[in-house]
Amino acid sequence: MQGVICFPAIGAIILLSISCASGPEPPRPGSPAFLWSAATENFVKGDSLKTNDQLQKLVASENEFTAKARPWRLVILSGVADGYIELANAYENGSREAKSSPTPFRRTLTEHRSQAARYATQFAEDFAAYRKSGIEAEVPFAFPLPGGSAGPVGILAKIFSGVMPAEAELDSGQREVLRRAVLFSVCRALGAPKDTAKATELLKGSGDARIGKDVFLRAMAQALTDHAALFGKQKLQRPDHQKHFLNLALETLGSIGDSKESNELKKKVQAELKGVGGAI
């Protein structure tokens, strides 16, 4: 009897081994867990546009990731807008420097400024909705710093001086500008403007930090103020948009405690509002 093989028992052991080896099932494509995982992966790679698309789907409904996805998306939207503004400004100066052939610079300037307006407007709309939803005393930062360097992007100096880079260099350079702008947007939201070392320390490498509400809201007011200039007389010439951004920034600053930074920004916003005709 000792030589008898119990095939059913062996089969059960094999199935159990396979089940244990395979581990838990991965998130179903399109599910909140799948979108969150994909957003995190793309963010670390520095692909902010893909991250934004995935977060947009996440915040469209209430799920276990919505509360963490909303502030993350605001940081990305404001950063991408900043990046396109920086690109547009470089092309604007380049069009003046390239006196013999300014047309390609002007055309690209128009494209980038339009993209900047699109992301800035989406940021303002999402932020207004976020404020109304009720913000906790501490805002979740459940994501790491994005990939990329905080150093100058070489392509900007070329464009600024009136030299149009090669097509391949343009694509990679644009991605780098957007990547750095989002990195700085994260730093700003953490209360550490352009200070990646401090931002890294605040996030503690865990990608699961919490930031004081006033710090975060002041950063959002700063972003709104910066974006308002995009709609000014020298840019897109949309005074209603400019006033809306400035008013939203002023309302936000009025909802947080006094500080040197907040009061200085408030004075700046009030001065700019006065320059465009006051509050709506």
Listed by start position, the domains of the chain span 28-212
pLDDT at 230 over 80: yes
Phi, psi of 274 (to 5 degrees): -60, -35
Residue type, 222: Q
Q: If you ran DSSP here, which 8-state letter would residue 165 be given?
A: P
Supply the pLDDT for residue 21: 45
189 versus 208: which is more confidently predicted? 189
**pTM confidence score:** 0.88
- Give backbone dihedrals phi and psi of 97, rounded to 5 degrees, phi first: -75, -35
**Residue 174: band (very low, low, confident or very high) from pLDDT cuts 50, 70, 90:** very high
What pLDDT is stored for residue 204 in this prediction? 77
Q: How confident is the model at residue 146 (pLDDT cuts 50, 70, 90)?
A: confident
Reply yes or no on whether the pLDDT at 234 is more than 50.
Answer: yes
Q: What is the sign of the dihedral through the CA atoms of 213, 219, 222 and 224?
A: negative
Band (27; pLDDT cuts 50, 70, 90): confident
Query: Which of 11-20, 236-245, 269-278 is predicted with the least confidence, judged by mean pLDDT?
Result: 11-20
Q: Which residue has the higher pLDDT, 25 or 128?
A: 128
Q: Which of 132, 141, 123 is nearest to 220 (CA)?
A: 123
Least Cα distance to 265 among 218, 231, 233, 230 occurs for 218
Summarised one tens digit per residue, pLDDT across range 192-228 is 999 999 998 888 755 678 999 999 999 999 999 999 9
What's the confidence (pLDDT) of residue 206?
A: 56
* Residue that has been written with the tokens 């509360």 in this structure: 67
Query: How high is the pLDDT of residue 9?
Result: 46
Confidence label for 134 from pLDDT (cuts 50, 70 and 90): confident
- Integer Cα distance of 148 and 169 in angstroms: 16
The position carrying tokens 């020298």 is: 234
User: What mean pLDDT is reported for the chain?
Assistant: 89
**Model confidence at 170, in pLDDT bands (50, 70, 90)?**
very high
**pLDDT tens, 31-80?**
999 999 999 999 988 899 999 999 999 999 999 999 999 999 999 999 99
